[in-house]
Amino acid sequence: MHCNQNFMNLEQWCEIDESIYVADSDERYKQYAGLRHSESTIKNLAEIKNQNARLFLETFDEPRELYLTALENIADSSTKELELKLFNLRNQKIVSTKHRFGSSHVNWSTWRQFNNLQKDDSKRKQVFDEFISKTKYISPVIKKRFDSMGLAYGKYSSKQIDPLEGYLENERVSYSEMIKFVKSLGQQAKKPFRESLETISKKLLGREADYYDDFYFFRNKVYSDFGTDFAKVDPPAQVRRTLKALQFNLAPIQIDTENRKEKYPSPICFFVKVPTDIRVLYKSESPYFDLQGCYHEMGHAAHAASIDPSLEYWNRYGFSMGIAEIFSIFLERLTKNSRYLSSIGIKDKGLLEDLEQRNNFIELFFVTFYAANSLMKAEFWRRRLSMEKASDLYAKLIKEYTGFELPGEYWMLHHILPDAIMYVPSYMLAAVRATELDLHLRNHYGENWWDVPESGKRVRDIMSPGAKIDLAEFSKMDSSLFMKEITATT
Ligand SMILES: [Zn+2]
């Protein structure tokens, strides 16, 4: 079926594909920015993208990066309708009958905001329990969408790759390596997490934590008393100053800070054209959260803007999430670094110690929660679990790693687990690598490496090969460093 005599050369295909990609990113950027955009253009471009991905698979077997992306694009676009259905069901069916947020009943989209503002714990619990019972409305759609994705991979891949295998190959890890890595992190974090949860819950809630006090509730709650100290920092201006001192080329990076009504609430980065057109959207929310988010997205932007423009199409764009997130987490780490924070004017020692303790708690929560998330999703694909089995396993894993007695259906209410093929382990891989990159710079340029322009050059040398990045230059995938850091008690 795959003839060697290609009627189209790869360069031509890449040029077409990049043009589609650029047009699509530009349109989606406008949508997220709350600017005038066309939904039909977005739909049409998705269709063209799908066709071009099929053209690739009919014509070429190589390069592997494009092969895997083509499969993912087809699986994604052929399940667009189910994705939309899930999106709508979540807002129409996952709705509280009793409690309101603003002028309407709390629904899946306003759930987190409701949790952050609601002072009455029993009301949060009621909404939580009701939403769990209403997962029955979305469960069949989630299952159907994942099954269809599996079918698309089976239909279009020559050697019958399944979505999990595609993900792992893109991340350049084997199944057993990934499982071993995730389990080891989770096991190490278990005990210190529970200890720290006990202390923090008593301090912030005045009681023991319960199952409805989830990761997203704590992630907000834990920083709620740091507002005023960080109010004097202007995140976009400060991160630009730091990147400029490290001699990054900021010309390709646009930061939009305007406050439009329809603008996406969290900061987000668009690689519209790599490396010449990178755009960050940013909307101020709460001071410390803003600082973290802004540094994170600017880490993505600095990475994309530093990629060698002469590289092939697939090497400029084809890096995995486990690579992309290294540089965002790496830059975000500065907002958790006491030395760096005091260099930008946050000097209160007590505050910095408190902040470090809270950050470590959130990291431990992240590791235990994401370990359970990753292991369930891997098993879901491996054993083709039914939704009931998946939820049972999820409850078991959450109990094992975090200690919470959480109803297993919770995973369907998460914002990544029922949507993405895998995605969650990539954050864990990247968090370990970002710690190693930080250490690499400290070893070569000193504790205050951000003051040394050569360290910026070193980072750019690591970034510039895009998907051809040589991780071995700074990473051995040694998680002990990261674990030591987050289990340290101040
Ligand atoms: Zn990111």
Q: What is the pLDDT of residues 341-400, one digit of tens each?
A: 999 999 999 999 999 999 999 999 999 999 999 999 999 999 999 999 999 999 999 999
* Å from CA of 10 to ligand 1 middle: 30
Task: Output the pTM of the full model.
Answer: 0.93
CATH of domain 172-490: 1.10.1370.30
Dig out the tokens for 165 from the structure.
Answer: 């295998």
For the chain, give the mean pLDDT: 94
Q: What is the pLDDT of residues 255-270, one digit of tens each?
A: 999 988 788 777 899 9
* Å from CA of 113 to ligand 1 middle: 21
* Å from CA of 1 to ligand 1 middle: 39
pLDDT band with cut points at 50, 70 and 90 for residue 112? confident
- Residue 271's DSSP bridge partners are 278
* Å from CA of 360 to ligand 1 middle: 19
Q: What does the pLDDT average to over 184-190?
A: 97
- At residue 260, the 3 state secondary structure works out as coil
- Residue 281's DSSP bridge partners are 256, 268
* Å from CA of 196 to ligand 1 middle: 26
* Å from CA of 307 to ligand 1 middle: 17
* Å from CA of 75 to ligand 1 middle: 23
Q: What is the pLDDT of residues 386-433, one digit of tens each?
A: 999 999 999 999 999 999 999 999 999 998 899 999 989 999 999 999
CA-CA-CA-CA torsion sign (213, 214, 220, 226): positive
Whether pLDDT at 38 is above 80: yes
Whether pLDDT at 3 is above 60: no
Dig out the tokens for 71 from the structure.
Answer: 């499969």
* Å from CA of 336 to ligand 1 middle: 16
pLDDT band with cut points at 50, 70 and 90 for residue 93? very high
The per-residue b/e assignment along 143-153, b for 16 or more CB within 10 angstroms, e otherwise, is bebbeebbebb
Tell me what pLDDT residue 166 has: 95
DSSP alpha helices (H): ranges in 134-174?
A: 139-156, 163-171
Question: Cβ–Cβ contacts within 10 Å for residue 91, how many?
Answer: 12
Choice between 168 and 1, residue whose per-residue pLDDT is larger:
168
Q: Which of 128-132, 268-272, 280-284, 324-328 has the lowest mean pLDDT?
A: 280-284
User: CA–CA separation, 417 vs 406, rounded Å?
Assistant: 16
Q: What is the pLDDT of residues 159-173, one digit of tens each?
A: 789 999 999 999 999
* Å from CA of 22 to ligand 1 middle: 20
Whether pLDDT at 189 is above 60: yes
* Å from CA of 299 to ligand 1 middle: 8
* Å from CA of 278 to ligand 1 middle: 14
* Å from CA of 297 to ligand 1 middle: 6
User: CA–CA separation, 98 vs 105, rounded Å?
Assistant: 7
- At residue 309, the 3 state secondary structure works out as coil
Q: What is the pLDDT of residues 216-245, one digit of tens each?
A: 999 989 988 887 889 899 999 999 999 999
* Å from CA of 326 to ligand 1 middle: 8
* Å from CA of 324 to ligand 1 middle: 7
Tell me what pLDDT residue 259 has: 84
- The residues spanned by each domain of the chain are 10-84, 172-490
pLDDT band with cut points at 50, 70 and 90 for residue 4? low
* Å from CA of 322 to ligand 1 middle: 10
* Å from CA of 398 to ligand 1 middle: 24
* Å from CA of 300 to ligand 1 middle: 7
* Å from CA of 268 to ligand 1 middle: 8
Dig out the tokens for 439 from the structure.
Answer: 């250490």
Tell me what pLDDT residue 8 has: 78
User: CA–CA separation, 195 vs 18, rounded Å?
Assistant: 50
Instruction: With CA atoms as reference, report the closest residue to 333 among 219, 188, 432, 217.
Output: 432
* Å from CA of 319 to ligand 1 middle: 13
Please report, in angstroms and rounded to a whole number, the separation of the first and last CA atoms in the chain.
63
* Å from CA of 328 to ligand 1 middle: 6
- At residue 209, the 3 state secondary structure works out as coil
* Å from CA of 325 to ligand 1 middle: 5
Helix (H) or strand (E) holding 253: strand 253-256
Tell me what pLDDT residue 256 has: 95
pLDDT band with cut points at 50, 70 and 90 for residue 448? very high
Tell me what pLDDT residue 368 has: 98
Sort strands 277-281 and 268-273 into parallel, antiparallel or unpaired.
Answer: antiparallel
Tell me what pLDDT residue 46 has: 87
* Å from CA of 321 to ligand 1 middle: 8
Tell me what pLDDT residue 306 has: 98
Tell me what pLDDT residue 5 has: 56
Tell me what pLDDT residue 285 has: 76
* Å from CA of 177 to ligand 1 middle: 23
Q: What is the pLDDT of residues 288-338, one digit of tens each?
A: 988 999 999 999 999 999 999 999 999 999 999 999 999 999 999 999 999
* Å from CA of 18 to ligand 1 middle: 22
Question: Cβ–Cβ contacts within 10 Å for residue 113, how many?
Answer: 14
Whether pLDDT at 39 is above 70: yes
